[in-house]
Structure 1
Amino acid sequence: MKHFTKWAVAAVVAGVTAGSAMAQELYAPNLAYRTGPFAATGIPLMNGQADYLTMLNERDGGIGGIRINGEECETGYSTEKGVECYEKTKSKAIVTQPWSTGITLQVLPKTNVDEIPILAPGYGFSPMADGTTFQWAFNTPSGYWDAADMIVQYLEGQGSLDGKTIAFLHLDHPYGKEPIPVLEKLAGEKGFELEPIPVGLKEMQNQSAQWLQIRRLRPDYVVMWGWGAMNAGAITEAVKTKFPMENFLGVWWAGHDADLKIVGEDGKGYKSISWSFPNPDAPVMADIQTHVVDKGLTKSNAEEMSGVFYSRGLIISAILAEGIRVAQEEYGTAEIDASQLRWGLENINMTEERISELGLDGMVPPFQTSCANHTGHSGGWMLEWDGEKFVKVSDLLTPNVAGYQDLIDEKAAEYAEANAPWAMNEECNVTN
């Protein structure tokens, strides 16, 4: 992949605008959820995503000189509404961002026919890592199976897991069930007992039955795959039942500052794996202040902007923008289409140098995608609540993908067979 520079951008823009009075916009709809039971997590994420795109439009005139439209279609996290939003927006979209594992699973076969890339950063169907099979789907920069592996790695770093019990507190929803295959595999290899404890959508705010089960089980650790109101409910119950917070860990969607602020000091020690981290001193934050906040163009506020989820929203839009830039350079046009963006998303190389060029210092680990690798497997940091905010308490952890590559291959093949005829990317091979 060519190295992308501002001079390349200028050349692309010149080529595009030379023969036209006005460039069109890049339409990148977001299937948002600012309402419903998961709104508390959706709002800061959507605000971060929107602010980054607004900053690019205000500061740079867009990406490669063409403005980007991140119009939101509200789903309330409903799978049915999500599919409606996908159908409503797909005709001119260069990407779809489903924002729910349930919605992702529903639109996954549709996008393979419609040839529109799914961008599902850190969520969705884990076998989407296989770019040969899922040529239109990306869960960059890290997937749920990566998260499960890194959490177990971290726990193993605290001492042998042989003979230990891990309670797996999870939303009874496709999202919550995603890591179970890898956790079961690791349980067999490491010798720990895995005890799944599901939480229904109607039980999220009243988990007394689940925490009674946890008290009786007396696990060594509780690992949480929670979302929205479930996280706040679980953290509150953990404090109430005096479960040792240092033994309570969550996936990256269970590491929301606002949930921990409910319990404050009592939540001290709770941990969450994360592929993003807020850095108030990063140059991108100054640019957002100048070009978005000072112009009254944000829906966010200072407290939210200092948190994990807002900064993760920034990173998600930065990943999309980088895919767009790479595609623009490759194809020599700013007005890329969905197919060209797919190539761009397959050729992202977020080196430390590139992360710094984007002003995202310390906010996301390096990663690289390819034709065969649609996840990037970036790794992540273990974050810990110190009573006021999340802080890093580990060096960068990287997933042992080789340990579950067989599962990726197996589940991808099963999916393709169950949805036959399934279009594969025959030009893609594992060495790409």
Structure 2
Amino acid sequence: MKKVFKPAVAAAAVSLAMLSQAAYSAEQFFPIPSYRVGAYGANGQAFYGGFIDYLNYVNMKDKGVNGVTLTWEECETEYNNAKGVECYERMKGKAAQSAGPIHTMSTGISYALIDKSAQDKLPLAMMGYGRTDAVDGSVFPYAFPLVTTYQMQASAIVKFVKDKLGGSLAGKKIVYLYHDSAYGKEAIVALNAEAGLNKFELVQIPVAHPGNEQGAQWLKIRQEKPDFVIFWGWGVMNQTALKAAQKVGFPRDKMIGSWWTGSEEDVIPAGEAAKGYMAATWNVAGKQVPVIADIEKVVYGAGKGNLQDKGKIGTILYNRGVSAAVLSVEAIRKAQDKFGKGKAMNGTQVAWGLENLDITDARLKALGATNLLPTIKTSCSNHEGSGKVKIQQWDGAKWVPVSDWIEGNKGLIHPLFEASAKQYAKEKGITPRDCSKEK
């Protein structure tokens, strides 16, 4: 009897294994090292809420990407570098065969993972943060500072300030008030270059983490009497700065923050002190964006929304999370076009998709994301893909765009990336790819 049943059992086992493999291959896994608690938890809640809502939306609306279901797992980092690495190590095994881009929403964690992710061949997305010389994909094939970088943002802000001050910055004084971390220091090289080019005085004033003590810094700003303050804050530091500026009498309409200082979480707690304050952004706020309205209808209408506080839908950071997910899904779609529709993509294939994005106005319209973010076209030599921002102003109740898309000085900034990447390659013994041969 045993000889009779052995082939049947073996056949059943093979069949089950094939079914299991087929089920797995129909899933695209996103490792999500997120943070929803700690000093920056409110920011993470909105961003990752939007990110996961869009993944859910694609599953519900389109049955995934060409039939491939999007799956994910979150791991709490508390915006802590060591915990971010722990989360990565915990989840990377699941991502070995199928990996969506990893979004840490942390420059420090991104720095800690940039070598690891390259070694593991897992794509590390750094949208508006992270190691910005990774724009040079010849040296950083698995790192993607997508949309725009701190340096290009700083350059665009300087361009906006120059226009506000009559077309010349010669002899003017700009204070750079920044979070004393890798994040805050990233823009300094660009601002120094802009100061040399435009002949203005740059005064650098750091603020220690988490930034709820700024009395001495604002006394110095009052003494310096700058024409503008460029502000690179994060979390509680932002509302603290706005209240401190009001206290010393510095006009908020002479302050322009980075995109991490320009969310509702930053201005609403500051109350009247925030009115008139400006900040850069690479995505707009509001539910007037069709995809945001449809997410609320489809996902929250079915009771499957990720946010406990639905009031965050349409906020800057929620919409930013959606836009990060849009580009991640588009990279998977692009990779499938090359490597096989209806199949899960591995890290190398998704990295290729990220490196060959071409998000036109027509594609944004088709996605319901018109004006949510700028057009993007990446390549081996340009992992940024845009370099544009808008300036928005808080009117006391909502963010209002006060500029069109502004591109930073690419001719000034991108050579800085290339020089830094070249030095990094030399230090690490990396032979850069020949981008002329990449397609």
Q: Normalised by the size of structure 1, how large is the TM-score?
A: 0.92
Q: Which residue among 92, 95, 103 is the counterpart of 2:94?
A: 92
Which residue in 2 is equivalent to 1:239?
A: 246
Please identify, of 67-76 and 244-253, the stretch whose mean Cα deviation from structure 2 is larger: 67-76
Q: Distance in 2 between matches of 1:75 and 1:22?
A: 27
Which residue in 1 is equivalent to 2:301?
A: 294
Which residue in 2 is equivalent to 1:229?
A: 236
Q: Which residue among 407, 412, 420 is the counterpart of 1:398?
A: 407
Which residue in 1 is equivalent to 2:394?
A: 385
Asked whether the equivalents of residues 44 and 309 of structure 1 are also in contact (C-alpha less than 8 Å), the reply is yes
Amino acid of the residue matched to residue 112 of structure 1?
A
Amino acid of the residue matched to residue 270 of structure 1?
Y
Aligned residues, how many?
A: 413
User: Where in structure 1 do 4 or more consecutive aligned residues deviate above 6 Å?
Assistant: none
Deviations 1:281-328 (A, max 9, x none): 222123212321112222333431131111111000001000000001
Amino acid of the residue matched to residue 288 of structure 2?
D
Deviations 1:67-104 (A, max 9, x none): 11232111001001111111111123213222211111
Pair 1:274-2:281 in alignment:
yes
Q: Distance in 2 between matches of 1:339 and 1:22?
A: 18
Pair 1:134-2:140 in alignment:
yes
Which residue in 2 is equivalent to 1:350?
A: 359
Q: Distance in 2 between matches of 1:49 and 1:31?
A: 12
Which residue in 1 is equivalent to 2:44?
A: 42
Q: Which residue among 321, 325, 340 is the counterpart of 1:317?
A: 325
Asked whether the equivalents of residues 274 and 383 of structure 1 are also in contact (C-alpha less than 8 Å), the reply is yes
Q: Distance in 1 between matches of 2:360 and 2:387?
A: 11
Residue correspondence of structure 1 range 24-103 to structure 2 within 5 A: 24-93=26-95, 94=99, 95-103=101-109
Deviations 1:177-222 (A, max 9, x none): 00100100110111111111111115x1121111111111111111
Taking structure 1 as reference, are residues 339 and 431 closer, same or farther at Cα in structure 2, changes over 3 Å only? closer
Q: Distance in 2 between matches of 1:151 and 1:431?
A: 33
Which residue in 2 is equivalent to 1:264?
A: 271
Asked whether the equivalents of residues 153 and 387 of structure 2 are also in contact (C-alpha less than 8 Å), the reply is no
Which residue in 1 is equivalent to 2:14?
A: none
Q: Distance in 2 between matches of 1:423 and 1:291?
A: 48
Taking structure 1 as reference, are residues 229 and 119 closer, same or farther at Cα in structure 2, changes over 3 Å only? same
Pair 1:157-2:163 in alignment:
yes
Taking structure 1 as reference, are residues 71 and 174 closer, same or farther at Cα in structure 2, changes over 3 Å only? same
Amino acid of the residue matched to residue 264 of structure 2?
D
Pair 1:330-2:338 in alignment:
yes
Asked whether the equivalents of residues 128 and 139 of structure 1 are also in contact (C-alpha less than 8 Å), the reply is yes
Structure 2 gaps, min length 5: 1-17
Which residue in 2 is equivalent to 1:8?
A: none
Taking structure 1 as reference, are residues 22 and 140 closer, same or farther at Cα in structure 2, changes over 3 Å only? closer
Q: Which residue among 102, 118, 129 is the counterpart of 2:124?
A: 118
Deviations 1:217-267 (A, max 9, x none): 111111111111111111121122221011001111110112211233432
* SS of corresponding position for 2:400: strand
Asked whether the equivalents of residues 385 and 391 of structure 1 are also in contact (C-alpha less than 8 Å), the reply is yes
Asked whether the equivalents of residues 253 and 278 of structure 2 are also in contact (C-alpha less than 8 Å), the reply is yes
Residue correspondence of structure 1 range 360-371 to structure 2 within 5 A: 360-371=369-380
In the TM superposition, residue 346 of structure 1 has moved relative to its aligned partner by: 0.8
Asked whether the equivalents of residues 40 and 229 of structure 1 are also in contact (C-alpha less than 8 Å), the reply is no
Pair 1:407-2:416 in alignment:
yes
In the TM superposition, residue 377 of structure 1 has moved relative to its aligned partner by: 2.2
Asked whether the equivalents of residues 127 and 147 of structure 2 are also in contact (C-alpha less than 8 Å), the reply is yes
Pair 1:283-2:285 in alignment:
no
Q: Distance in 2 between matches of 1:107 and 1:381?
A: 29
Amino acid of the residue matched to residue 397 of structure 2?
E
Asked whether the equivalents of residues 126 and 144 of structure 1 are also in contact (C-alpha less than 8 Å), the reply is yes
Taking structure 1 as reference, are residues 350 and 364 closer, same or farther at Cα in structure 2, changes over 3 Å only? same
Deviations 1:355-407 (A, max 9, x none): 00001122111111112110112411110111111111011111221112221
Please identify, of 261-270 and 130-139, the stretch whose mean Cα deviation from structure 2 is larger: 261-270
* SS of corresponding position for 1:404: helix
Amino acid of the residue matched to residue 362 of structure 1?
N
In the TM superposition, residue 121 of structure 1 has moved relative to its aligned partner by: 0.8
Asked whether the equivalents of residues 378 and 385 of structure 2 are also in contact (C-alpha less than 8 Å), the reply is yes
* SS of corresponding position for 1:387: coil
Q: Distance in 2 between matches of 1:353 and 1:279?
A: 21
* SS of corresponding position for 1:29: strand
Percent of paired sites with the same residue: 37
Q: Distance in 2 between matches of 1:291 and 1:423?
A: 48
Q: Distance in 2 between matches of 1:359 and 1:59?
A: 13
Q: Distance in 1 between matches of 2:310 and 2:229?
A: 32
Q: Normalised by the size of structure 2, how large is the TM-score?
A: 0.90
* SS of corresponding position for 1:105: helix
Q: CA RMSD in A?
A: 1.9
In the TM superposition, residue 423 of structure 1 has moved relative to its aligned partner by: 5.1
